[in-house]
Every structure is written in structure tokens, then in C-alpha cells.
Amino acid sequence: MKDTKIKCVVWDLDNTLWEGILQEGDNIVLKEEAAAVIKELDKRGILQSVSSKNDYESAKKKLEEFGLWEYFIYPQINWNPKSEAIETIAKSINIGIDTLAFVDDQEFEREEVSYSHKDVLCIDALKIDKILSMDCMMPNYITTDSKNRRAMYQNDITRNNVEKDFQGTKEEFLSSLHMTFCISKARESDLQRAEELTVRTHQLNSTGYVYSYDELKACIDDEKYEVLVTRLDDKYGTYGTIGLALIEKNEKVWEVKLLLMSCRVMSRGVGNILLNYICNEAKKAGVKLQAQFVPTDKNRIMYITYKFNGFKEIKENDVIVFEADTSYERKIPEYVELVVV
């Protein structure tokens, strides 16, 4: 049984999502049970895509007829090996390949994917009725961000397409987005999403520790701790709650116990804003600022983030402790409006 929560389910089409083979002119009949699973997974915040050996336009037209095309992001409908399609989808969404599941009626196709990507969960199309009851398909909470996840990724696709055609510098493009980065103290109503972030975020996560709702609740109820959540919006819509910081505030030293940021905003030039804000607040308070870093097999980018932002290692064991240079005020990029509430 798979322990990792699934973030994206990739569907085959012929004799999986529908009965029949599209390119052979069969009478194509939608499997209503599969459609119901797709709609429920969408409500749970699990993304979905397609890997099908078919003509793109014909398959798209059929999915549109069935009212399902909108549920899929980065669909791979071509004649390439499905292992390549799976890899492309994972990279496009920017998630670990071990968080994908692949549903196909053909044993050969499932084995071809498994051979290349042993961590992908391959599911026989005959077991579609079991998908919704799998533990890996059941998030701990279904938050507002979960329900809006597909729309947020579709907005990202729009942004990326606009950026490809944008005439100007990267900063000019970012300025054109009219981004607002909001930092606020976490309230109890934020904690389900905060826990979800610790579960889902692996690359931009300073310790890899998964905080439970109860642990986070204990922190916001304790004056010694401050839990910050961040939200990002732009002219195309909201990215949702995308960042989290847990700070232990002692009299002379503040320590960042956890810092994380959703991978979806890596290309938006906002990854350092929360950290810089915390540094500036420590400077105002006249305290030292330290930060914990626990290496995992996925989070080296956070080590680089601390080093790039002038943090120096002062202790190295299983937990690396960094200390910030708070002698100067850190600047917030001009292409972002910072709001602190």
C-alpha cells in the first residue's frame, strides 16, 4: 500500500475512461463510474491529467463532448511512450513523480511506466471502483485551496503561456502581473491548509517535518510561538495560501523552526519575501535570528535559499542551525505589493 499521498492521477482513455478505441472508429461510450471518480478526485484537490496514444484533436473533442476536458491539466495525447508522458506531466506540474498514479487497462502500458518510474502507482482500469477508497487518495482535509486547486493550476498555465510571448525582461513581466503578497498571523481557520502545506511541500521545506493540526494549534495558542501564513494573488487570480513559517520567539533569539513555500510560486520571484520580512522584524526587535534546516532528499534548494540570503551555519549535526545577518534592512522586490495584516 502506498504511503505517499497522490497529488495527480493520470488517465488512459481507450477502454479506461471510455469503452472502445477512438482511432478504430468504435462507438465510444463513457464509463460513468470513471467520470464520477474524476469529479470526486477534483473536489478533493487531486489534480488529473491524460496519457493516451491517440490523435490529440479527436481525443480532445470527445472529452469535450463528455464534459471532462476541463478536468485535465497538461494532457499528453500523442504516440510517445507513456513513461515519457508521466515524466512530462510531473515536471510540468512540478511535483515528485512518486505522487502520481496512472490508470490504464493495458498491462503492457502499466509495466512500461513501472519499469521507468517504480514509484508511480499503477492501477488497472478494472479497479477504478477502488480508487476513491485508497488511503493515498484521501487527503486529511479538503480545504478551500483543495477545491480550487485545478483552477489555480489552470491560471498558472495561462500565466506561463503569456510569459512565453511577453516582450520584455523577467522583472517587467512580473511587474505586469500586479502581484500582492499577504503575510498574516495564522488563525485557527488557517490550520487545515497549514497542515496540508506541510504534507504536500517537499522541495521548499526547511525541515521536512509534517506538523499536525493539533501541533499547529498548540503553537498559535502559545505566546512563545508565532505562526505566519502567506497568500499570493495577481491579476489572473489567486495562488491561495502558499507559504508558512513557524518561529519560536525567545527574549534574545528568534528561531525559525519551519519555513516553507509552495513550489507553484518558484518562478514568481517571491520565494524570499517571507524570509526577508522575518529578518526585518528580528532587526526591529533587536534580537538574533536563527533558523533550523534538516536535510532531506528533496529540500537542498532551501539550504541554498538560506545561504543566498546571508545566513551562516553556526551548528551542524542532524539539524543545521543558521544565523542571519540582521545588520541591514532587506528589500522587498518592487514588482510585488507586500501587505501585512
Query: Same structural domain for residues 209 and 239?
Result: yes
| Residue 40: band (very low, low, confident or very high) from pLDDT cuts 50, 70, 90 | very high
Query: Per-residue pLDDT tens for 92-133?
Result: 998 999 999 999 999 999 999 999 999 999 999 999 999 999
Which pLDDT value is given to residue 271?
Answer: 87
Query: Same structural domain for residues 72 and 90?
Result: yes
Domain endpoint, select from 85, 109, 137: 137
As a whole number, mean pLDDT of residues 146-160 equals 95
Contact yes or no for 260/206 (Cβ under 8 A): yes
Which pLDDT value is given to residue 251?
Answer: 95
Query: Per-residue pLDDT tens for 184-222?
Result: 999 999 999 999 999 888 888 999 999 999 999 999 999
Share of the chain above pLDDT 70, in %: 99
Which pLDDT value is given to residue 198?
Answer: 92
Query: Same structural domain for residues 57 and 96?
Result: yes
Query: Per-residue pLDDT tens for 318-341?
Result: 899 999 999 999 999 999 999 999
Share of the chain above pLDDT 90, in %: 91
Which pLDDT value is given to residue 2?
Answer: 66
Query: Per-residue pLDDT tens for 216-258?
Result: 999 999 999 999 999 999 999 999 999 999 999 999 999 999 9
Q: Is residue 123 part of a domain?
A: yes
12: containing domain: 8-137
Query: Same structural domain for residues 133 and 161?
Result: no
Question: Which CATH number fits the domain that encloses residue 184?
Answer: 3.40.630.30
Q: Is residue 3 part of a domain?
A: no
Question: Which CATH number fits the domain that encloses residue 77?
Answer: 3.40.50.1000
As a whole number, mean pLDDT of residues 150-155 equals 96
Q: Is residue 2 part of a domain?
A: no
Contact yes or no for 237/190 (Cβ under 8 A): no
Domain endpoint, select from 111, 137, 163: 137
Query: Same structural domain for residues 286 and 227?
Result: yes
Q: Is residue 204 part of a domain?
A: yes
